[in-house]
Structure 1
Amino acid sequence: MTEAYISTRCKKILYMIMASDTYVSLPQISEEFKLSKRSIYYELCKINDWLSVQGINEITVVRGKGIKLTEEEKQQIEQVMEKGGAKEEYIFSPMERIYFIICYIIKSKEAVNVEQLAEYLQVSRNTIFNDIRVVVKQLQDFDLTLGYKSKQGYFIDGDSIRIRALFMLYINMLKPVYESETFSYLKDNSVEENLKKLQKIETKLNTSYVEGTLRSIAMLIPLMEKGNEGLYFPDLKKEELENSQEYRLIEEEFPNLIEKGKKYTYVFIY
């Protein structure tokens, strides 16, 4: 089973609450961690997600007082902490779940079912169904649709370039999750190799891409062969593309990538 993750800051806030025998006010937390009231509620939401996964009662904020845990709740949390050791853990925020679901479906070679998503994100089926409604709305903004195959699961349908552009956008928004090593599903052995090749291209072009861009492309390259439609770029002639330095370097570093994949890569690094 996939583990529930909680960030270092959430752990510190939780330890602060556990260490007190009285109510811990939001201003106290704000002062200690230099957080706004909104940010505190965001962190408390993630803590409650983690507590829920562990089968422990969620913490509540009492108006005018703050947060206080019972001795039983403290013992339950301590036992879980001791069992899990000091390893950094991570909880997906609601929007991180949406971004992850979309990237997960795009990356998957097969349709993705609710059980897979619930297991990976460590949330209930009902939570996933609610997330799917948000996913549908997010995709509509990009003129994409969420399809469903009976007894198989969900897939994303629409223009391949838009799908890959959406992957690029959301994978960068998931950088904290990626760095937490929670992204094992979206990684494969070729990602680091692809990244090194793209970094060589970056050096030879004497340019510098926005942080995270090359890694996103490296993760996207295995998807380049998905989709059977041709590519059409009205403002770019084939001769200009194939004679560009970027395209020549892509051919040099990725000789086995199909022509369509090379063109996709060109579009993203141009």
Structure 2
Amino acid sequence: MLSAREFHLTNKLLNTKAPIRIKDLSIEFGVSTRAIKYDLENVRKWFKLQGKTVNSQTSKGIWLQCSDRERTELRGILTQFKRSQIYPDQTMRVRRIILSLLWTNDYKTAAQLSEMLAVSRNTILSDLNHVDEFLTSWNIELERKQRTGYRLHGNELQLRLMLEHIIYNSLDDYQIYKLTTRITKKERQIEIGTILEEPLKPIYEMAENHMSAFYSPSLASLLRLSDLLKFLLRLTFSVKRLTMGRAIHSYRMLQPSHDQDELSLFLVNVMEKVYTDMQLPLLEEEYAYVAGIMEKESEQIDVVDITEKMIQYVSEQERIDYKKDPKLYSNLLSHLSLRLQNGSFYLNEMNPMEDEVKRNHASLFQSVKESCRKYVKQHTLIAQDSFISFIVLHFLVSYENTFKRKKKVKVLYVCSTGRGVARLIKNRVEKEIPAVDIVCYCSLLEVEEICQAEEVDLIISVFPVEAAVPVVVVEPLPAKRDIEEIRKQVRAMIGSDDEQTNELLENNEFTISEDSENLSQEIILKGFEAAHALLEAFPIKSEERWKNAFMMHVFLMVHRYYFDKQYDQYLYANNQMLDSDEEMFHSVQQILQDKDLHVHEAEVITLLQYLKKWK
């Protein structure tokens, strides 16, 4: 037999191809590494019975080496696992107690529940306290009668919505795939296994047969798979509760309509067949429940109002004024609008961060959960921890962005001139490493002065620099290895956790295409401005081809400047200026500086070769 945790460990190994560290498993399941190691002994035995070996390596973790087809087969075997072969933990016991109370109108004693779950009476009494807590969140009462037992008391629609929640939360993606494939692809050989409780299984299979018979490919464009499964499960719940004499409210019969669309006609035909087989009347409210009409009519959701009230409530509970962050309102409104539109019901939504959110942010999670219960009211999503966890993430991002000071590394960038390509470097580095803030860029001669004035933490330079703070020497255009070296230095300074936090919160995806486009545009404009200014100061008196050559040279000079590829200074030494050229030299240099082009003297001297020809 496998315990509930061992069952989940087995399933995790089947769903994960990469090695998993035992330490990570202990954090995920909230137990010690020793407990995980004990669990893995039984997990290994189960896989050994299936002819597979669980591999392990100290530096890597544990993993299962097998093909996708074998994983699918093993997953199928695991889903066939009888519930009696799994030691139930408290969560599973609570679930089974509630379901057993839903299948009867009579009272159930603690002794009956104890026998059903094969645990002591004291354990059952402890579990019933958790049952009571769970039911309260759904506005359902656990009725206790001395010497008689326990039963559920509440609104019938609420009882069914709670039932849906419990069943959906027990399904994973593979099980959902199996359930829908049996209908849409008529693949009847796929086993349902123990997905549904025994009292529901015969009704479900009968309803499934009729739904599969009426289903046609033309419905695919009108019906999502999630809706198809919702119809099927709600039909099953409806029939089961009606056989117990538990209708939603009235017993008014469904009247036939001549203007039904294809989807409505499909559902009515299926329900008529099922209810006829079960010798039950097709009631108007039962059709409204299965089709989701009742849910939509009873819950006219004002998402704007819910968003505002939710932020207000969480702000009061957490004593943080989240209303100050306009981004939280817009992001949360967008999320809720998408999730609650048209009263649609989503299947078990997977949130990989759910356990971590609940463990590390328990207070915020509870506040958000209470706000959902308070303002989303009877909607079936309110008790889904995965849904609540996504809402919590919006508040966490708001807190980190608005109320918590992020750790940033103040950086000075040093290049040959202090300008030009520096703007590109700033954009690139800050996008790649959000924890970096390039506060200034300067020339080599200004380093010491800037360091004192700006109190920088790190220097990025194209030259070796001696300074009191760490220095990372990079190429004029930082390559990937340069970025990684900067990232390594930043991580050492602020810690990996804060570095990852900045990565998550900034959400900046580096796109070289945007930088290249902006830079190319700037180079073209700067080249045109420089050429136009020089031609105004020194009009061409020779033929047009010299003008074209000069303009081409200016554009290439600007390009060299931006990418730190200027002519070397040795050219100045080999081309001494005449005294008569000095005035022109200073004029050209001043024009370029006015255009924010602080080029080498060698570049200016080269330009003079063109300009002197036009005198």
TM-score normalized with structure 1 length: 0.58
CA contact (8 A) 1:198 1:218 kept: no
Q: Does 1:197 align with 2:210?
A: yes
Q: Offset at 1:239?
A: 9.7
Aligned residues: 208
Q: 1:199-257 deviations in whole A, cap 9, x for unaligned?
A: 556656322333964563354133342435526xxxxxx999x9465543333112234
- Change over 3 Å in CA distance of 1:106–1:202 after alignment to 2: farther
Amino acid at match of 2:117: L
Choose which of 199, 215, 218 in structure 2 pairs with 1:186. 199
Distance 1:155 1:267, change over 3 A: farther
Counterpart amino acid of residue 205 in structure 1: L
Q: Supply the distance in 2 between the matched residues of 1:148 and 1:245 (Cα, whole angstroms).
A: 47
Inter-CA distance 32–262: structure 2 relative to 1 (3 Å threshold): same
Distance 1:200 1:215, change over 3 A: same
What is the CA–CA distance in structure 1 between the aligned matches of 2:210 and 2:23, rounded to whole Å? 41
Residues in 1 aligned to 2:95 and 2:141: alpha-carbon distance in whole angstroms: 15
- Partners in 2 of 1:223 and 1:114 — Cα distance? 24
Quick one: higher RCO (CA 8 Å, sep 6+), 1 or 2? 1
Partner of 2:287: 262
Which residue of 1 is the match for residue 3 of structure 2?
6
1:67-118 Cα distance to aligned partner (Å, 9 max, x none) = xxxxxxxxxxxxxxxxxxxx77212232222222212211224322222222
Matched residues in 1 for 2:237 and 2:115: separation? 24
Find the counterpart in structure 2 of residue 37 from structure 1.
27
Distance in structure 1 (CA, Å) of the matches to 2:203 and 2:213: 16
For residues 80-229 of structure 1, the aligned pairs below 5 Å read 89-175=85-171, 181=194, 185-199=198-212, 203=216, 205-206=219-220, 207-210=223-226, 213=230, 216-217=233-234, 219-225=236-242, 226-227=245-246
What is the RMSD computed on CA atoms of the aligned residues?
4.3
1:136 corresponds to which letter in structure 2? Answer: D
1:123 and 1:188 map into 2 onto residues whose CA distance is 25
Q: Partner amino acid for 2:289?
A: Y
Once the 2 structures are TM-superposed, how far is the Cα of residue 170 of structure 1 from its aligned partner? 0.4
Asked if 2 retains the 8 angstrom alpha-carbon contact of 1:195 and 1:218, the reply is: no
Higher Rg of the two aligned structures: 2
* Matching residue's letter, 2:31: Y
Q: Which residue of 2 aligns with 1:21?
A: none
How do 1:11-22 and structure 2 match up within 5 A? none
Matched residue, 2:266: 249
State the distance in 2 between where 1:160 and 1:42 align: 42
1:27-74 C-alpha deviation (Å, 9 max, x unpaired): xxx6469724342728949x89xx9xxxxxxxxxxxxxxxxxxxxxxx
Unmatched 5+ residue regions in structure 1? 14-29, 52-86, 232-237
The code of the aligned residue for 1:220 comes to F
List, as ranges, runs of 4+ consecutive aligned residues in structure 1 with deviation greater than 6 Å. Answer: none
**Rounded Cα–Cα distance in structure 2 between residues aligned with 1:224 and 1:10:** 31
What is the CA–CA distance in structure 2 between the aligned matches of 1:162 and 1:11, rounded to whole Å?
29
Residue range with higher mean Cα deviation, 200-209 or 252-261: 200-209
CA contact (8 A) 1:101 1:117 kept: yes
- Against the structure 1 CA distance between its residues 244 and 94, is the aligned structure 2 distance closer, same or farther, given a 3 Å change threshold? farther
| Change over 3 Å in CA distance of 1:160–1:6 after alignment to 2 | same
Equivalent position of 1:230 in the other structure:
249
* Separation in structure 2 between the aligned mates of residue 229 and residue 184 of structure 1, nearest angstrom: 22
CA distance in 2 between counterparts of 1:33 and 1:180 reads: 32
Alpha-carbon distance between aligned partners in 2 of 1:94 and 1:180, rounded to the nearest angstrom: 23
Query: Matches of 1:140 and 1:159 in 2, distance apart?
Result: 13
After alignment, is 209-218 or 144-153 more displaced? Answer: 209-218
Change (3 A) 1:136 1:11: closer
Matches of residues 3-82 of structure 1 in structure 2 within 5 Å? Answer: 6=3, 9=6, 31=21, 35-39=25-29, 41=31, 44=35
Structure 1 residues 137-161: Cα deviation after superposition (integer angstroms, max 9, x where no partner): 1111111111134544322111111
Identity percentage of aligned residues: 14
Query: CA, structure 1 residues 36+112, in 2 after alignment: closer, same or farther (shift >3 Å)?
Result: same
* Structure 1 residues 229 and 265: CA distance shift in structure 2, 3 A: closer
Contact residue 195 and residue 214 of structure 1 kept, 8 A? no
Instruction: From the superposition, tell whether residues 187 and 148 of structure 1 become closer, same or farther in structure 2 (CA, over 3 Å).
Output: same
Q: Is the 8 A contact 1:224 1:261 kept in 2?
A: no
Q: Is 2:4–2:88's contact at 8 Å kept on the other side of the alignment?
A: no
Residue 548 of structure 2 corresponds to which residue in structure 1? none
Contact 2:138 2:158 in 1 (8 A): yes
Q: Is the 8 A contact 1:246 1:266 kept in 2?
A: no
Tell me which amino acid in the other structure corresponds to 1:114: A
Change (3 A) 1:254 1:182: closer
C-alpha contact 2:234 2:289 (8 A) present in aligned 1 = no
8 Å CA contact 1:99, 1:171 repeated in 2:
no
SS at match of 2:3: coil
| Cα pair 1:112 1:153 within 8 Å, conserved | yes
> Which deviates more from structure 2 when the two are superposed, residues 201-210 or residues 163-172?
201-210
Specify whether residues 244 and 184 from structure 1 end up closer, same or farther in structure 2 by C-alpha distance, changes over 3 A only.
Answer: same
Matched AA of 2:142: L
Residues 1:252 and 1:98: Cα distance change in structure 2 (over 3 Å): same
